[in-house]
Structure 1
Amino acid sequence: MKITVFGATGGVGREVVRQALDAGHEVTAVVRDPARLTVPEHERLRVATIPDVTDEEALVPVLLGQDGVVSALGPSSNKQARLAPVAGPALSAIVSAMDRAGVRRLSAVSAAPLGPDHAQDGVLTRAVVMPLLRRALRDVYADLAVMEAVIGASGTQWTVVRPPRLLNKPGTGTYRRAVDANVRAARTIPRADVADALLAALTDPASSRHAVGIAT
């Protein structure tokens, strides 16, 4: 496949680029600062420098001829999300540019707190832990909620992946999945497993137009 990756310099984005190249795909990594892309040069890797990912006109050229798009974009902190939302504005431009470029398949990372609480999680988790988390990071989740709404209203064949807390650990390859739900007792997941889920979604018709909860 030919895949364009947004957010390629972040923790999940770098893993997406690495895994896609290892799987034999051709990758276009969209970055603001090429110096921050730590993935080694590769004959199937093209780096596209776009300072503003809300600039639809700049996005169309990096999407022409592609088979799929992965977005690993998201706010890095509550303060950033409050002052300058990232995911919502970026995905608004990306899905419009995809439509113009004729690219249909999209997977994007979101977060587990945007999904429904699992009925089998304990009362403490559902009544205390999750409400506190949603309140503490309300601006982050507000940005991601706008992103999900934009994606859901688009004409793309989209999949939103909702992980819990991300870890810098080797991928397990055995993470749990739940379509249109969160998995039970979702606590953590390695970034490498999130990248695997994002790439797998591009070729999984069953996940098209669904949110997928994942966790180890």
Structure 2
Amino acid sequence: MKLTVFGATGGVGREIVRQALDTGHDVTAVVRDPARLTVTGERLEVVRADLTDPGALRGAVAGRDAVLSGIGARTRADAGVAARLTRAVLAAMDAEGVRRLLVVSAAPLGPVPEGHTVVDKAVLAIINAVLKDIYDDLRAMEAEVAASATRWTSVRPPKLTNKPVTGRYRSVVGGTPPRGRSLARADVAHAMLAMIDDPATVGRGVGVAY
């Protein structure tokens, strides 16, 4: 497949690029600073672009089978970037008639899983309070995506780690895996690539966790 990856220099985005190349896909990585992308490959095209300008992104998404986005705030000071940049991606996709989109969100935006204990709920409340700006940004991003003409999927992992890919994790379409504490960025990327052709995930949030 021909894939375009946004946020390709981030932890999840870089893994999407690496794993997609390893499995034989043609990948276009859209970045602001090509020097920060350490992945290389014959099937990789690196496009430097202003991610706030839909016109500058159209060539990067034209003719692609799917767009995968790892765009998101890395710190509370960056809150707002996910919704703002995803809006530009959606406009570029709409202009080029590209429909399949997968984005990274976060587990707290999904429904509370069954069996959540009082302690679990207390911890979740603290996390939501501390990271409120980032989660509000992701909610705005999800709203933009849901209102678009794309065949979207929002992937919602819990705490992210830098462990190697395992390919072994739980996923719940429209829900949240109970007692899901963490997931490696590499396995988030693995899950997103696996969902591209999965019709059950279209128009849904998908919780993923170990």
TM-score normalised by the chain length of structure 1: 0.95
1:17-74: CA deviation from partner (whole Å, max 9, x where unpaired): 000001110000001100100102x221000001x31211101111111110000000
Gaps of 5+ in 2: none
Offset of residue 119 of structure 1 = 2.2
Matched position secondary structure for 1:60: helix
Aligned with residue 92 of structure 2, among 72, 93, 97: 97
Q: Which residue does 1:31 correspond to in 2?
A: 31
Distance of 2:131 and 2:34 partners within structure 1: 29
Is residue 46 from structure 1 mapped to residue 45 from structure 2 by the alignment?
A: yes
Matches within 5 A, 1:6-21: 6-21=6-21
Q: Which residue does 2:69 correspond to in 1?
A: 71
Distance of 2:97 and 2:194 partners within structure 1: 21
Answer yes or no: is the 8 Å Cα contact 2:173–2:200 preserved in 1: no
Q: Which residue does 1:137 correspond to in 2?
A: 131
One-letter amino acid of the counterpart of residue 66, structure 2: G
Matched position secondary structure for 2:77: helix
Offset of residue 96 of structure 1 = 1.4
Q: Which residue does 1:169 correspond to in 2?
A: 163
Matched position secondary structure for 2:89: helix
Q: Which residue does 2:198 correspond to in 1?
A: 204
One-letter amino acid of the counterpart of residue 8, structure 1: A
1:49-105: CA deviation from partner (whole Å, max 9, x where unpaired): 01x312111011111111100000000011221xxx111011111111101111110
Matched position secondary structure for 1:117: coil
Distance of 2:145 and 2:128 partners within structure 1: 21
1:155-197: CA deviation from partner (whole Å, max 9, x where unpaired): 1000000000111001121100011111000100011110011
Distance of 1:158 and 1:199 partners within structure 2: 13
One-letter amino acid of the counterpart of residue 54, structure 1: T
Distance of 1:171 and 1:189 partners within structure 2: 9
Gaps of 5+ in 1: none
Distance of 1:200 and 1:140 partners within structure 2: 26
Q: Percent identity?
A: 53
Offset of residue 15 of structure 1 = 0.4
TM-score normalised by the chain length of structure 2: 0.98
Structure 1 runs of 4+ aligned residues shifted over 6 Å read none
